[in-house]
Amino acid sequence: MTLDNAFSERTKKFIASTNDCLEGSPYQFPDDEASIHRYQQIEESLQKIQDKLSKVPDIEGIPNTLKGSLRTQEVYESNALEGLGTDLLTTNNLIEGTILEHKSSKDYVEWAITRGIQTDKHLYDVIGLTAARGLSRDIASIESS
């Protein structure tokens, strides 16, 4: 059995198993060859996304405003893949009840500089976290002006 056939068999088993659970509902999956091929494409896309996400660096300490912007983008893209939802601005307004502005860029610059200083052990030891955050805020303010 080739990789493509193994992939196809796995997809068919998935569809059959899922349809068993959904029997009698309007949500069963079609199991024709075109649908199986489409499911395979989706699985390949998801694998690529998972591979990319595994390479994303740790973003611990990211500001809440930037998290909100990233969440808005995530919801918007998810809806767009499904052919649902509105534009990014409207998505943000629905999620946060605010107008999407460039407010996160200042926060991002501040966060990125602070993280950069924290990873530069020598610089961090010299100026400390408080000064690093102050420097980051100053630079971010200049960048956003």
State whether 50 and 72 are in the same domain: no
Q: Which residues contact 93 (CB under 8 A, 6 or more apart)?
A: 99, 100
State whether 90 and 71 are in the same domain: yes
State whether 14 and 79 are in the same domain: no
Global pTM value:
0.34
State whether 47 and 72 are in the same domain: no
What is the residue range of 42's domain? Answer: 3-54
Does a structural domain hold residue 59?
A: no
State whether 35 and 79 are in the same domain: no
State whether 43 and 81 are in the same domain: no
State whether 99 and 38 are in the same domain: no
Separation CA 9–CA 65 (nearest Å) = 45
State whether 68 and 113 are in the same domain: yes
pLDDT score of 115: 76
Does a structural domain hold residue 36?
A: yes
| Total domains, the chain | 2
pLDDT score of 100: 42
Q: Which residues contact 103 (CB under 8 A, 6 or more apart)?
A: 65
Instruction: Count Cβ atoms within 10 A of the Cβ of residue 14 and give its class: 0-12 exposed, 13-18 middle, 19 or more buried.
Output: middle
Cβ proximity of 107 and 144 under 8 Å: no
pLDDT in tens, the chain (145 residues): 444 676 678 778 888 888 888 888 888 888 888 888 888 888 888 888 888 877 766 666 777 777 778 888 888 888 888 887 788 888 877 776 544 444 556 676 777 777 777 777 777 777 777 777 777 777 777 655 5
State whether 75 and 105 are in the same domain: yes
State whether 23 and 48 are in the same domain: yes
